[in-house]
Structure 1
């Protein structure tokens, strides 16, 4: 059984010290799990407040695999913050360096990437074709959409131009939260726009309260990266499983479909009807969980 209890470790990479977490037996085949830019490696906790806690129920009953996750360099958690923002390729290289330090002879059985984690998974598969056996990309694509880039530009403008630095963080996070969810959810969840606005401000204030001014690096070191990356999927031979969400404004289904057409070995593409927008990758695990576990486990059994 994979308990929601992690063993933490640190690895010195060419870009700074990277903190990781391992769940399950250390001798078992490994699956990397990475989430969005505000994620940490604390995927699951006994108290149920892990970053991607909803994913744990899919893997709790297995003891055949271990799961590894990392705090992002420049993100929240205990990894270093580089002096200058890293590229997607450099983030991928840092994780590859850390993985090789603990699993020097074994390829990863899989990579589950939601949002930014899915982008990094594509880069990892492109750069390390012999080191990754399968990749699940959830709510992510090979390039940013114009709409999502504009939303991030406004977040950066708030950080750069707000005279009150803490207020800039709160407003930037509030705008980010607005972009992660759908119009349909806001209509069904809130009785008035005032209530919705107060909720968004609360989410921004909570980020600042829990992480202090280090939360600023989300917008100075990670948000810009998502506007600048472009990954060519055509050379990626790794089997890929795709999941999109119908109301996702950050990784719209049309862009994920474009990714599918460019990948030479896309084994499955699941489109989830969701009111949660981009956050469907966290909220809608039950709707794509069966396809994910089949891709990771049953498909492996069928081909051996």
Structure 2
């Protein structure tokens, strides 16, 4: 059983100093788990307040793996914020350098949103190093719609005289892009209530992380506007999980990704009112497929 309690560590890389978290026996094969741009490597906590806590029940039943997760450079957490934003490829390389210091038995990568993009980048750049990848709510390139939404987030950060207001509004717009019109119709009786909810999410981010969270919109959000990964280079078995009304990784892009992958290993498309945030909200609906993906062929011990 992989307990929801982590031991933290640091790793120096050519790109930034990374803070990592290890869950489980350090002698077991490694599964990397990476979440979205606002994620911490503290994906699970004993008090159930981890960033991707809903994923832990899957791992609570596994005894033959350990899990490693990292804070992102320029993100929320203990990793270094470089003076110049890293590219998607450099983020992937930073994690690779950190992993090389911790293990020689990388068996799988589970990535949600940004974490899935980095998993695809890693697998494309180092085809022989990653046996399997589950990319959840992620594609090999950005959708035009999602890039436009991020452009507006960056404009808010750059043009608001009040820096805190810029953070609040940029986060509110990001939250709007992660969810769907269907959810807002079901959840709110009036647009004023929905607007207050979105502003609250921005204020919550600022309150919990201070002005340092501005780097989410200067160091991470912009790099997702122009990345491009060649899926034909990916030799890993790749499982895809996508969501019917996801504006960030729409099914049309996931269709294209699936058609280009040499070794696709099934796809789960989920109907959800939560849009992109389905990767957190709808874990129960893809948990059995993900469990099968991780265990269909026993992960080899060292």
TM-score (norm 2): 0.98
For structure 1, the residue ranges without an aligned partner over 5 or more in a row are none
**How far has the Cα of 1:191 moved from its partner?**
1.4
Residues 98-130 of structure 1 deviation map (CA, whole Å, 9 limit, x = unaligned): 000011x32x11000000000000010011222
Work out the number of aligned pairs and report it.
300
User: What's the offset of the Cα at 1:143?
Assistant: 0.2
SS class of match (2:232): coil
> Residues 185-211 of structure 1: CA distance to partner in whole angstroms, max 9, x if unpaired?
111111111111000000000101111
Match of 2:188 in 1: 190
Superposed CA RMSD? 1.1
Quote how far apart the aligned CAs of 1:299 are: 3.6
Hey, what's the Cα distance between the residues in 2 that align with 1:177 and 1:196?
11
**In structure 1, C-alpha distance between the alignment counterparts of 2:236 and 2:3, rounded to whole Å:** 29
Give the whole-Å Cα distance in 2 for the aligned partners of 1:253 and 1:296: 23
Q: Give yes or no for the alignment of 1:171 onto 2:169.
A: yes
Kindly state the Cα deviation for residue 179 of structure 1 after the two structures are TM-superposed.
0.4
CA distance in 1, matches of 2:61, 2:123: 28
The aligned counterpart of 1:109 is: 107
Deviation at 1:144, TM superposition (A): 0.1
2:156 is aligned with 1:146 = no
- The TM-score with structure 1 as length reference comes to 0.97
1:78 aligns with 2:90: no
**Cα deviation, residue 267, structure 1:** 1.2
CA distance in structure 2 between the aligned counterparts of 1:165 and 1:43, rounded to whole angstroms: 28
Map 1:1-304 → 2, pairs under 5 A: 1-103=1-103, 105-106=104-105, 108-300=106-298
Q: Which runs of 5+ in 2 are unaligned?
A: none
Alpha-carbon deviation of 1:222? 0.2
CA distance in 2, matches of 1:242, 1:168: 34
Measured after TM superposition, the shift of residue 237 of structure 1 is 1.0
Q: How many Å apart are 1:218 and its aligned residue?
A: 0.3
**Partner SS state of residue 220, structure 1:** helix
